[in-house]
Amino acid sequence: MADCTVRGDIVHFIDSPTREDPKRGLVYIPNGLLKIRDGRVIDVAPFDQEVASEETVIDYSGHLIMPGFIDAHVHYVQADVIASYGKQLLDWLNDYTFPLERRYSDPELCRETAQWFLRELWRNGTTTALVWPASFKQSAAAIFESAYGANMRLISGKVMMDRHCPDYLADSARSSYEDSLELIQQWHGKGRLSYAVTPRFAPTSTEEQLNLAGRLMADVPDVYMQTHLAENQDEIRWVKELFPKSRSYLDVYRQFGLLSSRSFFGHCIYLDDEDRKIMSRRNATAVFCPTSNLFLGSGLFDLRQAEQVGLSVALGSDVGGGSSYGMLQTMHGAYSITQLKGFPVFPLQPWHWATLGAAKALNLEDSIGNFEPGKEADFVVIDPKATEVLSRRMASSETLEEKLFALMVLGDDRAIKATYILGVPKHSV
Ligand code: GUN
Ligand code: ZN
Task: Give residue 2's pLDDT.
Answer: 85
Q: What is the 8-class DSSP label of residue 317?
A: -
Does residue 309 register a pLDDT over 90? yes
Does residue 52 register a pLDDT over 80? no
- Average predicted confidence (pLDDT) for the chain: 97
* Three-state DSSP class for residue 151: coil
What beta strand segments (E) does 68-146 contain? 69-75, 126-132
Measured distance CA(44)–CA(7) in Å, rounded = 10
Q: pLDDT tens digits, residue range 11-50?
A: 999 999 999 999 999 999 999 999 999 999 999 999 988 7
State whether the beta carbon of 292 lies less than 6 angstroms from ligand 1.
yes
Output the CA torsion 255→260→266→269 (10° steps): 70
Kindly calculate the radius of gyration of the chain based on its CA atoms and give it in whole angstroms. 21
From the CA of 228, give the closest atom in ligand 1: 1
Measured distance CA(273)–CA(277) in Å, rounded = 6
Report, as an integer, the average pLDDT of 280-294.
98
Q: pLDDT tens digits, residue range 356-410?
A: 999 999 999 999 999 999 999 999 999 999 999 999 999 999 999 999 999 999 9
Measured distance CA(420)–CA(403) in Å, rounded = 23
Q: Which residues contact 429 (CB under 8 A, 6 or more apart)?
A: 416, 417, 418
Does residue 1 register a pLDDT over 80? no
Confidence category of residue 274, pLDDT binned at 50, 70, 90: very high
Q: pLDDT tens digits, residue range 138-184?
A: 999 999 999 999 999 999 999 999 999 999 999 999 999 999 999 99
Report, as an integer, the average pLDDT of 300-325.
98
Does residue 294 register a pLDDT over 80? yes
Cα–Cα distance list, 393 to 23, 294, 397, 407 (Å): 21, 26, 6, 9
State whether the beta carbon of 200 lies less than 6 angstroms from ligand 1.
yes
Q: pLDDT tens digits, residue range 219-242?
A: 998 999 999 999 999 999 999 999
Tell me how long the chain is.
429
Percent of the chain with pLDDT over 70: 100
Measured by CA distance, the residue closest to atom 9 of ligand 1 is 321
* Three-state DSSP class for residue 206: coil
Task: Give residue 254's pLDDT.
Answer: 98
Task: Give residue 326's pLDDT.
Answer: 98
Mutation test residue for ligand 1: of 73, 135, 160, 228, the one with most atoms within 8 Å of CB: 228
Measured distance CA(279)–CA(306) in Å, rounded = 10
Does residue 53 register a pLDDT over 90? no
Report, as an integer, the average pLDDT of 93-105.
98
Confidence category of residue 54, pLDDT binned at 50, 70, 90: confident
Task: Give residue 45's pLDDT.
Answer: 96
Measured by CA distance, the residue closest to atom 1 of ligand 1 is 228
* Three-state DSSP class for residue 9: strand
User: Within 13 Å of residue 423, how many CA atoms lie on the same side as its CB?
Assistant: 20
Nearest to 366 by CA among 192, 227, 248, 243: 192
Chain-centre distance for alpha carbon 106? 26
- State the distance from the centre of ligand 2 to the C-alpha of 266, rounded, in angstroms: 6
CB 312 within 8 A of CB 285: yes
Name the pairing type of β-strands 424-428 and 416-421.
antiparallel
Q: Could you tell me what percentage of the chain is helix, strand and coil, using 3-state DSSP and rounding each to the nearest 5?
A: 40, 25, 35
* Backbone φ/ψ region at 300: left (φ over 0), alpha (ψ -120 to 50), beta: beta
Does residue 51 register a pLDDT over 90? no
From the CA of 203, give the closest atom in ligand 1: 2
Model pTM score: 0.98
Preceding peptide of 320 cis, ω within 30°: yes
Task: Give residue 50's pLDDT.
Answer: 78
State whether the beta carbon of 101 lies less than 6 angstroms from ligand 1.
no
Measured distance CA(187)–CA(185) in Å, rounded = 6
